[in-house]
Amino acid sequence: MRGIVGVLVVAGVAVAAFALRSESRPAPPPSGQATGPGFAVVELFTSEGCSSCPPADANLARLLKAAGDAPVLGLSWHVDYWDRLGWKDPFSSEAATARQNAYAAAWETRRLYTPQMVVNGRDAFVGSSEAQADAAVAAALKRPATVALTARATAEGEGAWRITWSVEGAPPGCVVGVALTVGGRSVAVPRGENAGRTLRHEGVVRAYAQAPVGKGAGEIRLDAPADARGPEVALVALVQHDATRAILAAARVAR
């Protein structure tokens, strides 16, 4: 499977070797010099080709619905290493797999699996575990942000966005990332482990770009694919420490 080392994606038992426990992190995240309210970026690494993933997709949808106006931001990354096993996920991308690989490298592990849920780049666990998801999100919301982030988006033609951002208090080695997501997507899967099922997804990442924090302000441009336009599009900005992968600030992008 391209670009993957030690992937555990055994059909039907993709997460069995990990049980339901959180994984330790080798290094503590840095702190910034600003203060702000807590937030929770919930990333889910998933695939329509994985029979263990639909409960995790439902778990992410549950978290987002329960959050209401709270800053719980969902990013559903559809990896591509399941695509050769009977069904090519229409939302899968090499970028999603690369992001999961980046977490594995930062955490000094060779283990990748689906479904994997990551909260604020710090806590990782089996994505279908409601108890662990609830605990991780609650803890993240109580933890004040140490970096200040503001971002605003301007539409520039069909599917094109310009996001202006500013950051205060970020430690060295951080990047600003912006993800374009869509929700309410349903797919009838004809083949693979989920053959015959209709799967529903929220927070599906359809475009992502990032830039170094640098002097603390800048622009990021995104071009959305044809299936990622309309009222269900959302934009999420985040500040991430590149070495540890800890997310130090995040916000919905105003537009």
Q: Is the pLDDT score of 167 beyond 90?
A: yes
**Using alpha carbons only, what angle is made at residue 123 by residues 52 and 109, rounded to the nearest 5 degrees?**
75
**Strand order across the beta sheet in which 148-155 lies:** 148-155, 160-168, 217-223
Beta carbons of 100 and 226 less than 8 angstroms apart: no
Residue pLDDT, tens place only, 69-101: 999 999 999 999 999 999 999 999 999 999 999
pLDDT of 174 reads: 97
Token pair, residue 195, equals 């053959």
pTM of the model: 0.90
Residue pLDDT, tens place only, 168-190: 999 999 999 999 999 999 999 99
Domains of the chain: 37-252 (2.60.40.10)
b/e for 54-75, b at 16 or more Cβ within 10 A?
A: bebbbbbbebbeebeeebbbbb
Q: Average per-residue pLDDT in the chain?
A: 89
DSSP 31-77: --S--B---EEEEEEE-TT-TTSHHHHHHHHHHHHHHTTS-EEEEEE
Are β-strands 7-8 and 112-113 bridged in parallel, bridged antiparallel, or unpaired? Answer: parallel
pLDDT of 164 reads: 98
**Using alpha carbons only, what angle is made at residue 121 by residues 153 and 84, rounded to the nearest 5 degrees?**
90
Residue pLDDT, tens place only, 108-163: 988 889 999 999 999 999 999 999 999 999 999 999 999 999 999 999 988 899 99
SS3 242: coil
Token pair, residue 229, equals 């336009």
Euclidean distance between CA atoms 205 and 150, whole angstroms: 20
Measured between alpha carbons, how far apart are the two ends of the chain, in Å?
Answer: 39
